[in-house]
Amino acid sequence: MEEQAVNELISFEEEHKVVRTNTSYYDLKWGKTANPAKNNTWNWAAFFLTSAWFAYRKMYKHFFILSLIEVIWFSLLCFVDIPEWSDAIVFGGASLITGLCANRWYYKHVKNVLARAEAQPEQRKEAYLQIKGGTHMGIAIGLSILALVITFGVGAGLSFLPTKTNIKDVVRYGDEAITLETYNDHPKWTYIKKEGRHHVVQFTGYDYTEKEHVRIVFNVYLDKQIYEWDKIYINGKKLNKKDAEDYEYWIEDSSAY
């Protein structure tokens, strides 16, 4: 009964005209459900490759939608403080949704291509199916590279906007910042103010090993994407120049390992 329902929805011979490669895989996947246009089956290739898989299968609408989401996400990182682990949730979620829904989406794509092919003049149908159907590794690689370039290009360009997040990122994504966050519990980066050409950013944390409250003030030059140490406070007391230099050198040396 289920097999009959599937055959009524789509002829496998007709489907092969669009799929062209790895047809037995989709025969199997779509044959597992009574209505492949509504029911999902898992696709590992789509799970791992996500947008590249869409480009490979010439599903360009899906490719550009997912790529646009990635651009928006990377752009958002320049305006809002978002935990680094959120990347795993966003991109992991995108992979899960793609892997789960890919076969259903591809089935609908195949049906749409077949319907549009029927509207073509008889002498152009085969050429249309050949252009719209099958796979294309070169297009998949080319579009994927283009999407990466655009995504990181937009992110790099927006990183020079004078937002509080961008200004703090100049410091907190450096090796010294990673060392400070490793040595101190409850690390926190705070934008303070702008002073002339530079911005003031503050780091606070608690060093349980030394039983010390740590507060460090940095001067950030956003246009040059550089920063400098300014003042260091331990348990509310400002360190003198020599002790501050020793503390800074200690963090720098520890960051080299």
What is the tens place of the pLDDT at every residue in 37-67? 999 999 999 999 999 999 999 999 999 999 9
**pLDDT for residue 6 is more than 60:** no
- Which residues are CB-contacts of 147 (< 8 A; sequence separation ≥ 6)? 51, 63, 67, 70
Closest residue by Cα to residue 134 from 46, 23, 9, 11: 23
What is the rounded CA–CA span in Å between residue 48 and residue 54?
A: 11
Structure tokens at 39: 């029911």
User: pTM here?
Assistant: 0.85
pLDDT digits (tens, 9 = 90+) for 187-231: 999 999 999 999 999 999 999 999 999 999 999 999 999 999 999
CA distances, 55 to each of 15, 25, 41, 59, 131 (Å): 19, 18, 20, 6, 13
Closest residue by Cα to residue 10 from 123, 122, 115, 102: 115
Give phi and psi for 127, each to the nearest 5. Answer: -65, -40
pLDDT of residue 11: 52
